[in-house]
Amino acid sequence: MTESQIEAFVDASAAALGLPLAPEHLPGVLRYIALAAQMAELVHGLPLATADEPAETFVPVAAAAPSPAGRGGAQQ
């Protein structure tokens, strides 16, 4: 998306939602939407096969606590 497209999108979205957008917040909102658009372009550019399916549920992996011996867990 171009800068003007992002600005138009933000203006139209805020108006459609009846969301007041303070002028001091606008630069951050524009940066976030530009970042989201860049991420979407990356995902959109990935080739998918006809058998590819979305995950049913996202389950984050919990971070494991470090072992007493440090990384890898092997004691010396």
Residue 52 lies in a domain: no
CA nearest to 33, candidates 11, 62, 50: 11
Residue 27 burial by Cβ neighbours in a 10 Å radius (0-12, 13-18, 19+): exposed
In a domain, 56, yes or no: no
Q: Residue 25: inside a domain, yes or no? A: yes
Number of domains the chain is built from: 1
Q: 58 falls in which pLDDT band (50, 70, 90)?
A: confident
Domain containing 28 equals: 3-44
Q: Would you say residue 76 has pLDDT above 70?
A: no
In a domain, 15, yes or no: yes
On whether residue 13 sits in a domain, the answer given is yes
Average pLDDT over every residue of 12-41: 95
Instruction: Provide the pLDDT confidence category of residue 74 given band limits of 50, 70 and 90.
Output: low
Domain presence at residue 29: yes
DSSP conformation letters of 9-62: HHHHHHHHHT----TTTHHHHHHHHHHHHHHHHHHHTS---TT----S---PPP
Asked, for residue 60, whether it belongs to a domain, the answer is no
- Amino acid 67 reads S
Q: Domain for residue 72, yes or no?
A: no
